[in-house]
Amino acid sequence: MKRRIRVSSSQREELVDITEQVSALVRDVEDGVIHLWSLHTTCALTVNEGADPDVARDMLAALHELVPQSSKFRHAEGNSDSHIKTSLFGPGLTLLIEDGDLVLGIWQHVFLAEWDGPRKREVAYAIVSAVE
């Protein structure tokens, strides 16, 4: 069975909040973990503050400055910056589940970090229930 979350981005670079989609997957799981894995080389996964949208904007601006889109890269598709940013964030996350909820801090949200959009993306997941 394919276990996938489908996510659409609307900009070249953006953080798409997928917390609700991931939370819905674990509602019937008492305790365990969920593993998330981006199936793409130009978008990543991360956990960060979701209460203030300025945090996401600041992260995007900092990454854009740190690794700008450039014609100096060799990769012919013109998206080498996207590959680099994905490697900096990483394609996967493992999150704890407790009593059917994600174990996240009060301000933490789960994001797909889009670096080469707009696109339709897929995130694979596996849930492992704790056995006591």
The answer to whether residue 70 scores a pLDDT higher than 90 is: no
Average pLDDT, the chain: 93
Handedness of CA 20, 97, 44, 14 (dihedral sign): positive
The answer to whether residue 25 scores a pLDDT higher than 70 is: yes
Confidence (pLDDT) at 69: 81
- pLDDT tens, position by position, 76-131: 676 788 999 999 999 999 999 999 999 999 999 999 999 999 999 999 999 999 87
Domains and CATH numbers, the chain: 4-129 (2.60.120.460)
pTM of the model: 0.93
The answer to whether residue 32 scores a pLDDT higher than 80 is: yes
